[in-house]
Structure 1
Amino acid sequence: MGKGRGSRRAETHDKELGDAVARAQQGDEAAFSTAYRIVHPSLLGYLRGLVGDDAEDVASDAWLEVARDLGRFRGDGAGFRAWTATIARHRAMDHLRRIRSRPRGTALESELTGLPSPRDTAAEAFETVSTRQALALIAQLPRQQAEAVLLQTVIGLDGPAAARVLGKRPGAVRSATHRGLRRLERYLASLPRGGVTDSDSSSLGDSR
Structure 2
Amino acid sequence: MAAQLSDDELSAALAGDPSGFSAVYTTISPAVLGYFRARGVDDAEALTQDVFVDVLPKLTGVKGGHAGLRTFIFSVAHARLVDYRRRSARTPQLTEFDPLQDQRWSRSAEDEVLGSLGGIASTLSMLNDEQREVLVLRIVADLSVEQVAGIMNKTPGAIKQLQRRGLLALRELVKEKDHAAS
TM-score, normalized by length of structure 2? 0.45
TM-score, normalized by length of structure 1? 0.40
More helix by share: 2
Larger radius of gyration: 2
Give the number of the structure with larger relative contact order, counting CA–CA contacts within 8 Å between residues 6 or more apart: 1
